Amino acid sequence: MEDRQINEANDPAGKTYMPGLAIDAVVFGFHDRQLKVLLMQYKKSEIFALPGGFIHKDENLDTAAQRVVCQRTGLKDIYLEQFHVFGEIARFDPAPLKNIMMANGLVPGDDHWLLQRFISVGYYALVDFTKVTPMPDRIFDNCAWYAITEIPKLMQDHNQIIQKALESLRSDLDNKLVAFNLMPVEFTMNDLQTLYETILDKKLLRPAFQRKMLGLGAFERVAKKWTGGAHKAPYLYRFRK
């Protein structure tokens, strides 16, 4: 199941957390026409999962999501989008987590709070993966980036969570302009189109893409980018304040 903060799992009642509620974070990483996802591998197992965690009783939901992502990326103030709530009964399977706990020296009873059914709130983030140092903790052997086309089999419904997050990200490119959170202060239209094509996994016609982007009225032209020849220099753009 989600990252259960097993270093705090000795309390079988989980009194400090909201009962039955968890967070799963799909951290998309983009750079140089590559789209990746941050995944965890639990220690002493072949079990892979998304970064995740729980909500303290005195903590806001969005604050908890920021904390979970910061713990794994070291980045603060990441743009996070809540995209879906996963509550199907079929996702409930305590066996993998019980095996993980036992591999780490914990012998939980069947009524342990980590082995109960959880509803998970899904968040996604979009970051430059070259600026992230993935950070596992003592319950993980590995925390690493995986290409979107090379994701291994994950525990429970985490593969489906990634697919749902990718669908939401692609929809939000136009609806919420989420890709702009990854662009520098000034960028070329080609930079923006490269990001769109990588996320959408398809080529876009340049004239149509430019017309569509400029029609949004979300950014303004600044100047031409210096390339050594003024007549070949592309225009730079920035977002309107």
Q: What is the dihedral of CA 172, 92, 19, 84, to 10 degrees?
A: 10
The per-residue pLDDT for 211 is 93
The per-residue pLDDT for 6 is 45
pLDDT tens string 162-184: 999 999 999 999 888 898 889 98
Q: Say if CB 181 and CB 239 are below 8 A apart.
A: no
Q: Say if CB 195 and CB 159 are below 8 A apart.
A: no
The per-residue pLDDT for 136 is 79
The per-residue pLDDT for 7 is 44
The per-residue pLDDT for 197 is 97
The per-residue pLDDT for 230 is 55
The per-residue pLDDT for 156 is 92
For the chain, domain boundaries = 6-176, 183-239
The per-residue pLDDT for 232 is 67
* Angstrom distance (rounded) from CA 210 to CA 227: 21
CATH code that applies to domain 6-176? 3.90.79.10
Q: Residue 202 is which amino acid?
A: K
Q: Is the dihedral of CA 188, 194, 196, 202 positive or negative?
A: positive
The per-residue pLDDT for 191 is 93
Residue ranges in the chain modelled with pLDDT below 50: 1-8
Closest among 147, 166, 138 to 9, alpha carbons compared: 138
The per-residue pLDDT for 229 is 58
pLDDT tens string 10-25: 565 578 899 999 999 9
Q: How many CB atoms lie within 10 A of CB 102?
A: 12
